[in-house]
């Protein structure tokens, strides 16, 4: 988790030592990452950690992120894919096909809790599913190992379901729905695996929300003598994960409460680190260990409150509390998009996207879903032609994120700028320099194509009307 925040923060170079270390040990036929190791990648952990079958897929996920966020084909070919391939080989060989025709993971141990010999921990199933999707896609992009893809596809299509009883997610297949939890891994399907989120069916989201809301009462790591009447979680890694789960589910106030109640109030030390154990007095707050992984995981989770793109759809301020004002610059989104945004009272005020690789971009319209129908049309999401409108909160169209025909040369950056105009109420209104939407007299004109950054031709000259609407038109 110490490397989770480097991707959205556009600091992927900080993960070089991570990639280099694990890549050195991927030149074998199948790889299982140890729970604790030294520079030789030997297993050095105690018994339960040795049986955490989720670890290899979790490590592989960061390699895939390294490609997704940058679009660096050389990194995918030389570093990410070799590790992902061997991880996929391991799971293909380790999974057991049962009488039900499904592949199961046994034996395995859920992180930080019993039993030692569990079947299908939720974290294992979620991360293996994410890995198989990624390695199949990577193999196709590179045109490599076509003979391995059918086996990976078979495992993906027939892998056991993420365990649940229909009301909540379960820690493993045979777990009680109210079992005590030393770790929040049963929600890994939400974060970081990305199998459940804001783009998922409502039933899946509600299942995850019910699970999340019950977790604080199920912890086995509560502080019995805590002097305040507030839920506690006495470790270094689970409370940041709770922020991430809430953010991925769009629960802004819940994410904020986890951040302040668990992290800042309970664990923050005067030196800016977070204590490993929850201090109950000032002396303990000063003397207890500070844990870097808490800081990194918290940073990653807060990033999820401001920007999400894990499923290929960019969401701005998906879990920003209503009282938050925020600004970020050069955040990185999946697909190699740099994003700048200003958020006021939890809503997007300005937004700029720069495509670094010319990939198509899908962006959830940040117009408030309760916006009135009067005023200019909702934000345009389109390819190069024809331009099409997208309703608030939807992402079923595609923003022009690849270089269009004309003056745009291959590899050029594409920039889109939006601003929430005061005169337009809750709608996004482009300014004269912008090319997404321009006002012409009393009507609204859609541009025929986006403008490539760096082009000598002016925005005003290139924007041509495609369709006009009166602001009072009932068509929107």
Q: What is the CATH number of the domain that holds 76?
A: 1.50.10.10
pLDDT tens digits, one per residue of 338-387:
999 999 999 888 888 888 887 888 888 776 544 333 333 333 332 222 23
Task: Give pLDDT, residue 27.
Answer: 55
Last residue within a domain, chosen from 305, 321, 337: 321
User: Does 232 lie in the same domain as 290?
Assistant: yes
Instruction: Of 341-345, 361-365, 412-416, 447-451, give the range with the top mean pLDDT.
Output: 341-345
User: Does 258 lie in the same domain as 357?
Assistant: no
351 domain residue, yes or no:
yes
**Residue numbers of the domain that contains 65:** 1-175
Per the prediction, the chain carries an average pLDDT of 77
User: Does 418 lie in the same domain as 390?
Assistant: yes
SS3 labels along the chain: CCCHHHCCCCCHHHHHHHHHHHHHCCCCCCCCCCCCCCCCCCCCCCHHHHCCCCHHHHHHHHHHHHHHHHCCHHHHHHHHHHHHHHHHHHHHHHCEECCCCCEECCCECCCCCCCCCECCCHHHHHHHHHHHHHHHHHHHHHCCCCCCHHHHHHHHHHECCCCECCCCECCCCCCCCCCCECCCHHHCCCCCCCCCCCCCCHHHHHHHHHHHHHHHHHECCCCCCCCCCCCCCCCCCHHHHHHHHHHHCCCHHHHHHHHHHHHHHHHECCCCCEECCCCCCHHHHHHCCECHHHHHHHHHHHHHHHEECCCCEEEECCCCCCCCCEEEEEEEECCCEEEEEEEECCEEEEEEEEECCCCCEEECCCCCCCCCCCCCCCCECCCCCCCCECCCCCCCCCECCCCCCCCCCCCCCEEEEEEECHHHCCCECCCCCCCCCEEECCEEECCCCCCECCCCCCHHHHCCCCCEECCCCCCC
Task: Give pLDDT, residue 368.
Answer: 55
185 domain residue, yes or no:
no
Task: Give mean pLDDT, residues 435-445.
Answer: 30
User: Does 357 lie in the same domain as 226?
Assistant: no
Last residue within a domain, chosen from 321, 345, 361: 321
User: Does 87 lie in the same domain as 58?
Assistant: yes
Task: Give pLDDT, residue 45.
Answer: 67
User: Does 159 lie in the same domain as 37?
Assistant: yes
Instruction: Of 171-185, 404-418, 461-475, give the range with the top mean pLDDT.
Output: 171-185
User: Does 1 lie in the same domain as 142?
Assistant: yes
User: Does 84 lie in the same domain as 103?
Assistant: yes
Number of domains within the chain? 3
pLDDT band at 291 (very low <50, low <70, confident <90, very high): confident
Task: Give pLDDT, residue 360.
Answer: 80
Asked if pLDDT for residue 8 goes beyond 70, the answer is yes
User: Does 22 lie in the same domain as 113?
Assistant: yes
Task: Give pLDDT, residue 367.
Answer: 62
pLDDT tens digits, one per residue of 52-91:
899 899 999 999 999 999 999 999 999 999 999 999 999 9
pLDDT tens digits, one per residue of 307-343:
999 999 999 999 999 999 999 999 999 999 999 999 9
pLDDT band at 50 (very low <50, low <70, confident <90, very high): confident
């Amino acid at each position: 988790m110490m490397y989770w925040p480097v991707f959205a923060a556009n600091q992927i170079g900080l993960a070089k030592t991570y990639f280099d270390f694990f890549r050195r040990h991927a030149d074998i036929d199948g790889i299982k990452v140890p729970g604790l190791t030294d520079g030789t990648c030997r297993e050095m952990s105690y018994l339960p950690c040795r049986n955490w079958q989720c670890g290899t897929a979790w490590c592989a996920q960061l390699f895939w992120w390294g490609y997704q966020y940058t679009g660096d084909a050389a990194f995918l070919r030389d570093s990410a894919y070799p590790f992902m391939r061997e991880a996929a080989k391991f799971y293909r060989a380790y999974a057991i096909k049962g009488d039900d025709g499904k592949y199961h993971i046994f034996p395995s141990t859920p992180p930080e809790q019993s039993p030692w010999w569990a079947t299908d921990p939720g974290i294992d199933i979620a991360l293996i599913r994410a890995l198989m999707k990624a390695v199949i896609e990577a193999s196709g992009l590179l045109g490599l190992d076509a003979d391995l893809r059918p086996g990976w596809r078979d495992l993906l299509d027939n892998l056991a379901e993420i365990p649940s009883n229909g009301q909540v997610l379960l820690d493993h297949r045979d777990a009680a729905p109210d079992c005590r939890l030393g770790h929040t891994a049963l929600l890994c399907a939400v974060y970081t695996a990305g199998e459940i989120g804001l783009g998922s069916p409502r039933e899946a989201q509600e299942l995850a929300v019910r699970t999340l809301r019950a977790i604080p009462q199920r912890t086995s790591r509560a502080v019995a003598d805590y002097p305040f009447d507030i839920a506690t979680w006495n470790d270094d890694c689970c409370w940041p994960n709770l922020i991430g789960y809430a953010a991925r589910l769009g629960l802004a106030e819940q994410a904020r409460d986890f951040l302040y109640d668990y992290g800042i109030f309970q664990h923050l030390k005067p030196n800016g680190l977070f204590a490993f154990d929850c201090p109950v007095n000032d002396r303990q707050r000063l003397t207890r260990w500070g844990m870097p992984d808490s800081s990194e995981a918290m940073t990653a989770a807060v990033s999820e409150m401001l920007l999400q793109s894990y499923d290929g759809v960019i969401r701005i301020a998906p879990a920003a509390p209503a009282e938050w004002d925020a600004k970020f610059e050069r955040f990185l989104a999946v697909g190699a998009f740099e994003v700048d945004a200003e958020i006021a009272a939890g809503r997007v005020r300005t937004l700029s996207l720069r495509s670094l690789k010319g990939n198509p971009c899908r962006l959830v319209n940040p117009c408030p879903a309760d916006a009135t129908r009067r005023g200019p049309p909702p934000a345009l999401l389109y390819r190069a032609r024809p331009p099409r409108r997208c309703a608030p909160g939807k992402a079923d169209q595609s923003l022009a994120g690849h270089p269009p025909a004309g003056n745009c040369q291959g590899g050029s950056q594409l920039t889109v700028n939006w601003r929430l105009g005061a005169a337009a109420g809750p709608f996004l209104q482009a300014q004269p320099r912008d090319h997404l939407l321009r006002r012409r007299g009393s009507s609204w004109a859609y541009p025929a194509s986006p403008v490539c950054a760096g082009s000598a031709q002016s925005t005003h000259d290139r924007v041509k009307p495609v369709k006009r609407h009166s602001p009072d038109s009932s068509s929107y």
